[in-house]
């Protein structure tokens, strides 16, 4: 029987009242806009900041801008000393290198051309580094991984020698299926063993004099020109008490063509050696060749800066626990040797990510005191990402707030400029419970979280969150989705591939007139929701069993 109109109105009043009450209890929606993100990106990527290289006037301008922004938002200084600055002492090293490979039997030496055929430098803080007549040894992928029963060095003494190795980690096939074995080096997904930083670290530990990585565009994820653009200029590093004397004397890359010339002259086949290197029983190959390097260097002390702001948590019992958002402010600066445009504006990498960090800071700062998250939120814009994650490494090893009280790191390196997407990629999918929370939040807005679509590139190890992960802090890092609403299938991947081939680490990484920041705004709102959930939740995020960072976190929290 139909309800009489008057009764219907009366019965609906409690529901209306309950709905209004629930609505009133909801926190205000964050003030995040595509227009604001676009304006911030345009500002940071402008020529005014001269490419934002550390230790340049561009750094001074960028740091001043970030400090002014954080201060104007009403956020507290993030450094307990009352400033927005964490000093990051570095050393700048400019290397001029010559390399020669000699062969027995009167064969002509190979003298490759620097920046074209190879890149080599030293991280040692000294004016001259020489490696003379160093025996050359091919060590496969240069990996020592006991958990996989893998040792590419097989006990061979490489002290004083030059080791030559492949990029990435071995792609081992399951003999029963012929497909990548997910139980060995995570199949198609790169592990840290595949990163060039690891390869130089293990070569140093083995006492090698020099370490050369063979560059291949596919496995590396970028063309050789990117290596030249990043390494063929002043390089930066943190300095150890021994002035980095424990590092290999020379770190370098060879192009694939130069490698093939070298191996042919040594009577070896690159294809045959690479095929042998994916076997667990691979044995290092001593080559009938010697390498000589002469590295002349100028060094200078560099005082760079991280910029950090803080929003105090609303719960006194949890105020000393922290969620930390990160984005690197730096890029490659200016190259005066170039004709025409000399400024590497780094619009996508990482003016967009820095804009997202500021937008998040603005959203949190606008909250009424009672509506603020229970835990404190830190906004950290780091230096030296393009120089080897140096600012993040410095913070993670000399934190301003205890890492044992740091609940999670959420990192932004780039943002969505293609428009709203149905998907969002997480780099390092399945590593932590942050992925599960992220998937749940996205589902509420009819979106999906998808694994990294190109795991072989090892993107998890290539941005600032990795330095937090290495120290045990659960870290979350996304990449822009490719399923763009209103665009044909394949549009997102095509645009991203174009960026990698044409603009990545080049002067052409500038604001494009067709960029659409509505997707960036959508993703920023998600990152805000994620950080807020983590900052309020009773249970901390955790690394999942089998993840290489779990043991460090477990040990940290037991102390």
Q: Would you say the C-alpha torsion 230, 233, 234, 239 has a positive or negative sign? A: positive
**What's the pLDDT band for 5 if we cut at 50, 70, 90?**
very low
Q: How many CA atoms lie within 13 A of 92 on its CB side?
A: 14
Model pTM score? 0.85
pLDDT of 190 reads 86
Among residues 469, 491, 470, the alpha carbon closest in space to that of 480 is found at 491
Do residues 426 and 478 lie in contact, with contact meaning Cβ atoms separated by under 8 Å? yes
Provide mean pLDDT across the span 445-459. Answer: 91
Provide mean pLDDT across the span 103-121. Answer: 94
CA 452 to each of CA 180, 291, 423, 433: distance values in angstroms, whole numbers, following the listed order: 16, 39, 11, 16
pLDDT of 186 reads 85
pLDDT of 283 reads 97
Q: What is the pLDDT of residues 261-306, one digit of tens each?
A: 999 999 999 999 999 999 999 999 999 999 999 999 999 999 999 9
**What's the pLDDT band for 19 if we cut at 50, 70, 90?**
very low
Among residues 296, 494, 468, the alpha carbon closest in space to that of 396 is found at 468
Provide mean pLDDT across the span 174-182. Answer: 88
The whole-angstrom separation of Cα 73 and Cα 53 is 25
Contacts of 134 (CB under 8 A, 6+ apart): 160, 161, 162, 209, 210, 290, 291, 292, 293
**What's the pLDDT band for 10 if we cut at 50, 70, 90?**
very low
The whole-angstrom separation of Cα 42 and Cα 317 is 40
User: Residue 30 above 90 pLDDT?
Assistant: no
Out of 165-179, 276-290, 307-321, 407-421, which region has the weakest mean confidence (pLDDT)?
Answer: 165-179
User: Residue 3 above 80 pLDDT?
Assistant: no
**What's the pLDDT band for 228 if we cut at 50, 70, 90?**
confident
Provide mean pLDDT across the span 491-510. Answer: 96
**How distant is the alpha carbon of residue 298 from its chain centre?**
28
pLDDT of 139 reads 98
| Higher per-residue confidence, 220 vs 473 | 473
Q: What is the pLDDT of residues 416-427, one digit of tens each?
A: 999 999 999 999
pLDDT of 28 reads 64
Do residues 331 and 58 lie in contact, with contact meaning Cβ atoms separated by under 8 Å? no
Q: What Rg do the C-alpha atoms of the chain give, in angstroms?
A: 26
The position carrying tokens 């061979």 is 156
Contacts of 127 (CB under 8 A, 6+ apart): 296, 297, 298, 299
The four Cα atoms 223, 227, 232, 233 give a dihedral, to 10 degrees, of 120
């Amino acid at each position: 029987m139909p309800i009489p109109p008057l009764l219907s109105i009366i019965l609906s009043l409690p529901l209306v009242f309950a709905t209004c009450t629930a609505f009133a209890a909801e926190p205000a929606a964050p003030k995040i806009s595509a227009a604001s993100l676009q304006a911030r990106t345009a500002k940071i990527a402008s020529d005014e900041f001269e490419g934002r290289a550390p230790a340049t006037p561009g750094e001074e301008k960028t740091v001043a801008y970030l400090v002014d922004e954080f201060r104007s938002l009403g956020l507290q200084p993030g450094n307990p000393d009352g400033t927005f600055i964490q000093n990051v002492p570095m050393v700048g090293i400019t290397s001029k290198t010559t390399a020669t490979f000699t062969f027995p039997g009167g064969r002509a030496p190979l003298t490759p051309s620097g920046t074209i055929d190879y890149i080599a430098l030293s991280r040692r803080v000294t004016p001259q580094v020489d490696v003379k007549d160093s025996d050359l040894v091919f060590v496969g992928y240069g990996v020592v991984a006991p958990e996989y029963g893998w040792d590419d060095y097989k006990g061979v003494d490489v002290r004083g020698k030059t080791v030559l190795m492949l990029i990435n980690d071995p792609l081992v096939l399951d003999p029963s299926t012929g497909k990548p074995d997910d139980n060995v080096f995570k199949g198609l997904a790169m592990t840290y063993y595949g990163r060039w930083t690891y390869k130089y670290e293990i070569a140093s530990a083995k006492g090698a004099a020099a370490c050369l990585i063979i560059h291949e565009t596919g496995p590396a994820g970028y063309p050789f020109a990117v290596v030249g653009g990043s390494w063929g200029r002043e390089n930066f590093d943190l300095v150890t008490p021994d002035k980095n004397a424990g590092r290999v004397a020379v770190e370098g890359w060879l192009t694939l063509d130069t490698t093939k010339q070298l191996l042919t002259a040594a009577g070896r086949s690159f294809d045959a050696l690479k095929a042998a290197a994916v076997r667990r029983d691979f044995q290092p190959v001593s080559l009938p060749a010697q390498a000589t390097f002469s590295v002349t260097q100028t060094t200078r002390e560099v005082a760079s800066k991280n910029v950090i702001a803080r929003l105090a948590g609303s719960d006194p019992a949890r105020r000393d626990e922290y969620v930390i958002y990160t984005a690197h402010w730096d890029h490659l600066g200016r190259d005066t040797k170039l004709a025409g445009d000399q400024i590497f504006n780094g619009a996508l990498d990482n003016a967009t990510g820095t804009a997202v960090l500021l937008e998040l800071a603005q959203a949190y700062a606008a909250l009424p005191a009672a509506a603020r998250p229970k835990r404190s939120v830190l906004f950290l814009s780091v230096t030296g990402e393009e120089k080897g994650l140096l600012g993040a490494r410095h913070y993670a090893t000399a934190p301003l707030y205890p890492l044992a009280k740091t609940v999670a790191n959420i990192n932004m390196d780039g943002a969505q400029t293609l428009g709203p997407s149905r998907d969002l990629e997480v780099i390092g999918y399945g590593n932590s419970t942050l992925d599960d929370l992220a998937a749940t939040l996205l589902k509420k807005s009819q979106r999906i979280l998808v694994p990294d679509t190109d795991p072989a590139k090892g993107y998890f190890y290539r941005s600032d969150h990795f330095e937090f992960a290495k120290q045990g802090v659960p870290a979350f890092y996304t990449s822009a989705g490719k399923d763009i609403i209103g665009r044909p299938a394949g549009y997102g991947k095509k645009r991203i591939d174009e960026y990698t081939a044409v603009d990545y680490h080049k002067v052409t990484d500038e604001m494009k007139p067709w960029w659409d920041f509505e997707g960036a705004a959508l993703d920023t709102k998600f990152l805000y929701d994620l950080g807020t959930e983590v900052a309020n939740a009773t249970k901390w995020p955790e690394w999942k069993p089998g993840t290489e960072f779990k043991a460090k976190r477990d040990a940290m929290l037991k102390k």
